[in-house]
Amino acid sequence: MRGYIFDLDGTVYLGDKMIDGAAEAIRTLRDRGDRVVFLSNKPIATRESYVKKLTKMGIPVTLDDVLNSSQIVAEYLLSQVREGESVYVIGEDPIIEELKRHQIPMTDDSDRAEYIVLSWDRQFTYDKLNIAFQAMLRGAQIIASNPDATCPLDNGQLPDTGTFIAALEVATGRSIDVVAGKPSLMAAEAARRHLDLPSEQIFMVGDRLETDIKMGNDAGMNSVLVLTGVGTREMAENGPYRPKFIVDSIKDVVHLIP
């Protein structure tokens, strides 16, 4: 038995268009008894929306089959926030809803927050950057949902949470405290627990070298780069994050052997 962690954007689909052969590949893996989980860094969509989208595309899933960076942030805060402490969120409704589901205490007063969640926010402003900057200076812990610089779409890319992290780190001169999503070992362990398999029996399949491939390598998994998203063969062969396998697309994953 093997386990497969699949990134979504750029790996299973691009925007609203499923990548050719994705549904058939997932079906083949499940039919032969392998375990599958989907792991996305995208915090502007709910896990419920992923279930609906994948099922509509012909890949039936349940809520338990989907992990995302918002859920990992919530689970981390659940283990960290003490009584009387609160969290200020820079992000959109999906990550706020995930924190509410986990009963994380939130505040609208950034000056009183011990934790700042920094996430992809398409209404990001200078004022929000300053809120995170001032909080970081006074010692609040900054937790980013994901480090992606961009998010791939079927017609291009959009700036993602990583651009906000970069601005904040340049302004303060130091790194933020926690990145919850890929490539963190926190994200790797969340997916490994779901699959309930040792790392060496797990394939981490994705299109980003600095998140998907780095996480797979760091966690001792079999990293697989698909060439349907951001990463290219040249980038993989010449960059610091070398995948164990490079395949044209997700449909080729079924043939890989650890």
The CATH fold of domain 71-179: Rossmann fold (3.40.50)
What pLDDT is attached to residue 131? 95
What pLDDT is attached to residue 20? 95
What pLDDT is attached to residue 153? 67
The CATH fold of domain 3-41+183-255: Rossmann fold (3.40.50)
Could you say which residues of the chain have pLDDT below 70?
A: 152-154
pTM beyond cutoff 0.85: yes
- Of 220, 214, 221, nearest to 240 by C-alpha is 214
What pLDDT is attached to residue 167? 96
| Distance set, CA 247 to CA 70, 188, 202, 224 (Å) | 29, 21, 16, 7
Q: One fold for both 3-41+183-255 and 71-179?
A: yes
What pLDDT is attached to residue 184? 96
d(CA 46, CA 35): 22
What pLDDT is attached to residue 152? 67
Domain extents for the chain?
Answer: 3-41+183-255, 71-179
What pLDDT is attached to residue 230? 87
What pLDDT is attached to residue 158? 86
